[in-house]
Chain A
């Protein structure tokens, strides 16, 4: 349980970047002062332009535990200000400022003996914090996600998750053509 750490700013360096889909990138950051985070936590990224202009956004973490490596999966919002930079431009070796770990409500703390079945449900990029929850749980788990075809359920990460957790866990994905607004937090 990592909830007692105070939130502060840290300096992170991009260790690796890998496209999960055509418009979503998996970023692994080395953050030497990161205190670790609970599954489901998020962080703020702050970018500073050469002229001093700053922009901050919150992103869910796909990683958890007491590690100084943190993993994000960022979905590009067309016409957005920050996500296109993170998805298309932020290079390996480049530094960014991050604040966290954030969030003590939507977190998974596997403290009790886990008896009851769990169903995780996500839409689009909402699947990201569930990765960290899924990997924090050893027992049976059912994982459903519903995405637009463009997102494709962060395909490679999900495939990896599935192969390492079967047969005790189930993965169901449903790519719906009807969710015109899926993936955008406005509901």
Chain B
């Protein structure tokens, strides 16, 4: 039912092939948040993976660095229609954090300082697809962007890349997190425009 808006020219009239449908290239880095920014000091930050056996795998800030960081260059896509291309990130691969985790569950609830949650299938977090990111564009991650550490899952809409991340809890089913309970898609693949449900 596409309607042509004859007076609309758009900006240049063509899209970068790296942009998923419905996305616009931005050069700044917008911040969207539902509440106040948690003030999380590195000295009291920790990250915990909890399994169905109540086994907790925990890293404090220095232990996380010792796991080993990677440099990533990737595009990010926000469900509010902006994309930022070729961003430089640094973070610890989720694969490394799961090396000693034994679980038969296939889903993960990600939890943040401040109470935010988001759900993901474990297979979207492994095989080089996700990181606990601590730096962006060559600088420590600022608090408004989720510092000191946020999840980075760039192949899904960016609400999945939880700011101020503090842990992951294994789940037997794909239970919805915060935005997923509030009208946003359970998985959020930008190339399939999985924005809402």
User: Is chain B a partner of chain A in the same complex?
Assistant: yes
Chain A residues in contact with chain B, CB under 8 A?
6-7, 9, 11, 44, 46-51, 53-58, 81, 85, 89-91, 94-97, 99, 102-106, 185-187
Given contacts A89-B7, A97-B1, contact A44 B31 (CB under 8 A): no
A53–B5 CA distance with the chains assembled, in angstroms:
10
For chain B, the count of residues having a C-beta within 8 Å of the partner chain is 32
A93, chain B: closest CB distance, angstroms: 12
Q: Sorted from nearest, which 6 A-B pairs have the closest CB atoms?
A: A7-B196, A105-B182, A104-B182, A104-B183, A56-B22, A53-B10
Q: Which residues of B contact A55 (CB under 8 A)?
A: 8, 10-11, 24
- A-B contacts counted at CB < 8 A amount to 84
B38, chain A: closest CB distance, angstroms: 16
A85/B22 in contact, CB under 8 A: no
Given contacts A7-B197, A55-B10, contact A48 B4 (CB under 8 A): yes
B182/A185 in contact, CB under 8 A: no
Q: Which residues of A contact B1 (CB under 8 A)?
A: 9, 11, 97
A47–B7 CA distance with the chains assembled, in angstroms:
10
A49/B13 in contact, CB under 8 A: yes
A12, chain B: closest CB distance, angstroms: 9
Chain B residues in contact with chain A, CB under 8 A?
1-11, 13-15, 21-22, 24, 28, 30-32, 34, 80-81, 144, 178-179, 181-183, 196-197
A186/B28 in contact, CB under 8 A: yes
Given contacts A54-B22, A102-B183, contact A44 B81 (CB under 8 A): yes
> What are 21 contact pairs spanning A and B, CB under 8 A?
A11-B1, A46-B22, A47-B5, A49-B4, A49-B5, A49-B9, A53-B10, A53-B14, A53-B15, A54-B10, A55-B8, A56-B24, A58-B81, A85-B5, A85-B7, A97-B3, A104-B182, A105-B179, A105-B182, A186-B30, A186-B31
B158, chain A: closest CB distance, angstroms: 15
Residue of B nearest to A57 (CB): B81
Q: Which residues of B contact A99 (CB under 8 A)?
A: 196
A99–B8 CA distance with the chains assembled, in angstroms:
19
Q: Which residues of A contact B178 (CB under 8 A)?
A: 105
Q: Which residues of B contact A49 (CB under 8 A)?
A: 4-5, 8-10, 13
Q: Which residues of A contact B196 (CB under 8 A)?
A: 7, 99, 102
A135–B197 CA distance with the chains assembled, in angstroms:
27
Residue of A nearest to B144 (CB): A187
Residue of B nearest to A85 (CB): B8
Residue of A nearest to B196 (CB): A7
A6–B183 CA distance with the chains assembled, in angstroms:
9
Given contacts A53-B14, A186-B28, contact A90 B5 (CB under 8 A): yes
Q: Which residues of B contact A6 (CB under 8 A)?
A: 197
B197/A48 in contact, CB under 8 A: no
A187–B21 CA distance with the chains assembled, in angstroms:
26
Q: Which residues of B contact A9 (CB under 8 A)?
A: 1
Q: Which residues of B contact A58 (CB under 8 A)?
A: 80-81
Contact of B3 among A56, A96, A186 (CB under 8 A): A96
B3, chain A: closest CB distance, angstroms: 5
A27–B5 CA distance with the chains assembled, in angstroms:
16
Residue of A nearest to B29 (CB): A186
B135, chain A: closest CB distance, angstroms: 21
Q: Which residues of A contact B3 (CB under 8 A)?
A: 11, 48, 95-97
Q: Which residues of A contact B144 (CB under 8 A)?
A: 187
Inter-chain pairs besides A44-B81, A47-B5, 7 sampled, C-beta below 8 Å: A47-B8, A54-B21, A55-B8, A57-B24, A81-B10, A85-B5, A105-B182
